[in-house]
């Protein structure tokens, strides 16, 4: 049984457990909170792909109204986990069934009352979520229940819904509003298995007398409707049966065997669970914090292409196609961004909200002055376009989907290469092209020259893109003109000449590839020494004045990431030398880092180190790990890329394969 449990209640763990016990279906995500909780306890019903911006604040995904709010009194005593009458309390996540449970036993008038509830978001119908609440008592009691749709929404940068209206009557409740920016209607409708009396807005009341040993059950079936969507009615048990069948099918596709290692098996199952609840159900992609809330503005980062796509290509290929199609569909926005900076080709959004770059010029707040700090992620992390091209090429290599490539995939790859070509500088003294003023995966060192990861990624994807274009021109001569019609004249010849002269950092005498020009000249100190220089635990390590900026200490795997994506590019000896060199300097300030080193360790035969790093990555949300703050900005939530990276390490490195593959 794949069940995550936690006993006892701690107010300090409300936010952490909201992430840890998250349920979802790729479109909706409901945080692991309790029936009696509200906005102050960070209840969140997050909608994928729906964004809104309020003037003067960051644009982010929208949280919907909460249809499962419920406050219960038994003989006048509140059944609230925050009270003092708790006898026992447990929450659980059944990963096999995609269902959240809670059971709390309260002491009421010398007897015990048990509140049990379960909820799931349908794996079959994207807008459907269901809850069942059951109350039992050792003695006769009077129950008074306030239930309905809570219109008080937890937002980081809201409120996002205006013109809010709520009403209910009988067994039906509804809350509706419109997004501030585009006026998109958002409705939550909910039906109840018992009629509500004395209604006020979206809330109503149920009063009953419960006899000892009997149970009272309240089912709630809700839908989240965006735009002008309609809805069809269903009941809890019908929806539950379909939901469980689909989860059984998903696990039959995704289950891996950790060969008798119980700890690794549970961590791996938890990672796979999170990857399954994020599988997109429409024309959108996967946000960096998944469906756990509005952190990172609900935007799509390079994480999706590099760390998540491999899982979906192996397990849910239709979802993999949605992920790469998202980038093809947002090509016009990437071209517009490149043009706005004076370049050609496609410069993809660092933080993509359906193509719009939501990345702020000031992503960090100084913890001492409380002033925003200028960062350059949006302008200088140009490797995002190489990552997009890499993902499309990997998808094509797996599927041989010519139709997709002809319909925009190949054009996207070549547009990304053209951006890098126009961004590059030709050094007339050294007679080579260089990529100057960039930020690599290691974000602690901004505006560096010739970042090895960036240069190689653009070189390799451009070379492969040109070769593929030439192949397609021969294979589909009738499509030749159309294939290149939206690209500059003689694009293939220009890219060939550029790749021949692009500077690619080479291993030095010790076999080490310098992360960027001048890296070896930085102060040679380790992570703990730099950590000891912090004056505040939430200081940002990078930027112009961070504690790591003038040192060799890096945020996450950088050169090592290149080896993971192109393991045959250098010999194992070179890869081993770089692994040993960069690991002591890596702070692992990103959830992408441990899994990157796990994959790298697998590739050089360091199984014990790979296993340890795999567990660090796979258990990050189980132990509530990861940074919660960057300066004064909250960055908490789940870590899908860590789950994806752990899966890559497990499946491709540690040999935790599918059971049928191991027989």
Determine the Cα–Cα distance for residues 62 and 173; give it in Å rounded to an integer. Answer: 20
Catalytic residue, chosen from 443, 446, 539, 619, is 443
Rg (CA), the chain: 26
Q: Is 590 helix (H, G, I), strand (E, B) or coil?
A: coil
- Paired sense of beta strands 111-121 and 23-24, if any: unpaired
Are 140 and 113 in contact, with CB atoms under 8 Å apart? no
Token code pair at residue 102: 């809670």
529 annotated active-site: no
Count of CB atoms within 10 A of residue 233's CB?
9
Are 76 and 42 in contact, with CB atoms under 8 Å apart? no
Q: Is 364 helix (H, G, I), strand (E, B) or coil?
A: strand
Determine the Cα–Cα distance for residues 65 and 44; give it in Å rounded to an integer. Answer: 8
DSSP 84-113: S-EEEEEEEEETTTTEEEEEEEEEETTEEE
What's the sign of the alpha-carbon dihedral 83, 84, 87, 88? positive
Among residues 226, 187, 223, 183, the alpha carbon closest in space to that of 48 is found at: 226
As to burial, measured by CB atoms within 10 angstroms (0-12 exposed, 13-18 middle, 19+ buried), residue 214 is exposed
Q: For residue 42, what are the CA distances in angstroms to 81, 136, 228, 480? A: 15, 28, 28, 54
* Helices 452-475 + 491-501 axis angle, to 10: 150
Token code pair at residue 542: 């990078």
Which residues are identified as catalytic?
443
């Amino acid at each position: 049984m794949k069940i995550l449990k936690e006993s006892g209640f701690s107010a300090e763990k409300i936010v952490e457990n909201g992430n840890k016990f998250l349920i979802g279906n790729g479109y909706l995500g409901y945080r692991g909170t309790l029936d009696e909780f509200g906005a102050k306890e960070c209840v969140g019903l997050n909608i994928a792909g729906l964004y809104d911006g309020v003037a003067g604040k960051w644009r982010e995904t929208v949280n919907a109204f909460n249809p499962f709010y419920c406050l219960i009194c038994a003989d006048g005593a509140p059944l609230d986990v925050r009270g003092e009458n708790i006898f026992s309390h447990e929450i659980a996540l059944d990963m096999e069934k995609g269902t959240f449970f809670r059971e709390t036993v309260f002491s009421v008038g010398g007897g015990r009352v048990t509140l049990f509830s379960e909820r799931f978001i349908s794996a079959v119908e994207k807008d459907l979520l269901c809850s069942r609440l059951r109350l039992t008592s050792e003695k006769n009691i009077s129950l008074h229940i306030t239930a309905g749709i809570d219109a008080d929404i937890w937002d980081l940068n809201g409120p996002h819904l205006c013109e809010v209206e709520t009403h209910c009557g009988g067994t039906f409740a509804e809350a509706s509003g419109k997004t501030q920016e585009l006026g998109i209607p958002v409705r939550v409708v909910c039906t109840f298995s018992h009629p509500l009396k004395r209604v006020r807005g979206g809330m109503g009341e149920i009063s009953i007398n419960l006899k000892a040993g009997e149970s009272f059950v309240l089912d709630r079936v809700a839908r989240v409707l965006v735009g002008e969507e309609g809805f069809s009615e269903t009941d809890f048990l019908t929806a539950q049966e379909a939901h469980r069948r689909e989860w059984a099918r998903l696990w039959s596709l995704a289950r891996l065997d950790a060969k008798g290692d119980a700890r690794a098996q549970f961590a791996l199952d938890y990672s796979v669970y999170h990857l399954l609840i994020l599988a997109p159900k429409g024309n959108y992609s996967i946000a960096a914090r998944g469906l756990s809330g509005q952190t990172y503005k609900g935007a799509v980062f390079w994480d999706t292409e590099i760390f998540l796509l491999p899982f979906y290509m192996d397990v849910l290929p239709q979802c993999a196609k949605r992920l790469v199609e998202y980038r093809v569909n947002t090509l016009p926005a990437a071209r517009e961004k490149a043009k706005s900076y004076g370049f050609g080709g496609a410069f993809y959004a660092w933080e993509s909200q359906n193509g719009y770059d939501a990345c702020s010029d000031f992503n960090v707040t100084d913890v001492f002055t409380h002033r925003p700090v200028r960062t350059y992620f949006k302008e200088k992390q140009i490797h995002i376009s190489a990552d997009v091209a890499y993902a499309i090429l990997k998808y094509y290599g797996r599927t041989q989907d010519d139709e997709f490539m002809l319909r925009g995939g190949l054009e996207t790859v070549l547009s990304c290469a053209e951006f890098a070509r126009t961004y590059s500088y030709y050094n007339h003294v050294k007679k080579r092209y260089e990529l100057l003023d960039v930020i690599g995966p290691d974000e602690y060192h901004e505006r560096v020259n010739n970042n090895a990861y960036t240069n190689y990624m653009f070189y390799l994807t451009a070379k492969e893109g040109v070769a593929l274009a030439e192949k397609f021109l021969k294979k589909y001569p009738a499509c030749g003109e159309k294939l290149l019609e939206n690209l500059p004249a003689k694009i293939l010849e220009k890219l060939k000449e550029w790749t021949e002269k692009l500077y690619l950092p080479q291993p030095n005498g010790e076999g080490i590839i310098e992360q960027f020009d001048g890296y070896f000249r930085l102060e040679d100190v380790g992570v703990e020494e730099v950590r000891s220089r912090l004056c505040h635990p939430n200081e940002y390590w990078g930027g112009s004045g961070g504690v790591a900026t003038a040192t060799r200490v890096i945020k996450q795997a950088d050169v090592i990431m290149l080896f993971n994506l192109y393991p045959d590019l250098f010999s194992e000896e070179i890869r081993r030398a770089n692994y040993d060199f960069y690991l002591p300097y890596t702070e692992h300030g990103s959830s992408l880092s441990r899994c990157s080193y796990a994959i790298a360790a697998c590739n050089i035969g360091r199984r014990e180190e790979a296993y340890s790093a795999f567990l660090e990555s796979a258990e990050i949300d189980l132990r509530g790990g990861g940074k919660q703050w960057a300066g004064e900005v909250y960055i908490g939530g789940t870590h899908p890329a860590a789950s994806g990276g752990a899966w890559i390490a497990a499946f491709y490195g540690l040999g935790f394969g599918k059971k049928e593959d191991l027989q």
